[in-house]
């Protein structure tokens, strides 16, 4: 079993993780103001609306910012690794690791990426990002 900590879905995040298991990236969209919200929130940070269903997004975006991690603070992470905020085409940011055939030193702000779902043993699919 992978020693990494596992996500702990709750009533708010369960629909997100269920979509990931289907290979689908979703974010919340406020029915009051129409803005997308990610990470999951119980209340829209833009208007205070409380009806925030999940909807599928393309999974395509660009690196907004990133960090190359050279010291693992939790077990199960092979260093170095890259974590990033991704500006999705739909106008919201998503978070995750940059994976695939790219060296950490080659990741750049503005790099086009697309979502990739990787299996986290003991949990299921989690989203990461790879160069598009």
131's enclosing H/E stretch is: strand 124-131
* Average predicted confidence (pLDDT) for the chain: 95
Q: What is the mean pLDDT of residues 37-54?
A: 97
On the question of pLDDT at 50 being above 80, the answer is yes
pLDDT recorded at residue 65:
98
Task: Give the bridge partners for 4, in sequence order.
Answer: none
* H-state helical runs in 1-132: 14-21
Tokens 């829209």 correspond to 44
User: What digits encode the pLDDT tens for the residues 80-113?
Assistant: 999 999 999 999 999 999 999 999 999 999 999 9
Return all residues near 7 (Cβ < 8 A) that are at least 6 apart.
13, 17, 120, 123, 126
* Vertex 130 angle, CA 57 and 70, to 5°: 125
Banded model confidence at residue 1, pLDDT cuts 50, 70, 90: low
Kindly report the pTM of this predicted structure: 0.90
Q: What b/e readout covers 120-132, taking b as 16+ CB neighbours within 10 angstroms? A: beebbbbbbbebe
- What length is written for the chain? 132
Banded model confidence at residue 42, pLDDT cuts 50, 70, 90: very high
Q: Which of 5, 14, 22 is nearest to 127 (CA)?
A: 22
């Amino acid at each position: 079993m992978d020693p990494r900590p596992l996500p702990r879905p709750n009533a708010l995040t369960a629909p997100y993780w269920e979509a990931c298991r289907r290979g689908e990236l979703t974010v919340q969209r406020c029915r009051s103001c129409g803005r997308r919200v990610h990470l999951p929130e119980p209340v829209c940070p833009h208007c205070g609306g409380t009806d925030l269903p999940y909807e599928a997004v393309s999974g395509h975006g660009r690196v907004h910012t990133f960090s190359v991690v050279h010291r693992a603070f939790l077990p199960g992470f092979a260093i170095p690794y890259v974590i990033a905020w991704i500006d999705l085409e739909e106008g919201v940011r998503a978070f995750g690791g940059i994976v695939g055939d790219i060296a950490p030193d080659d990741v750049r702000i503005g790099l086009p990426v697309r979502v990739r779902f990787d299996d986290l043993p003991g949990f299921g699919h989690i989203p990461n990002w790879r160069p598009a």
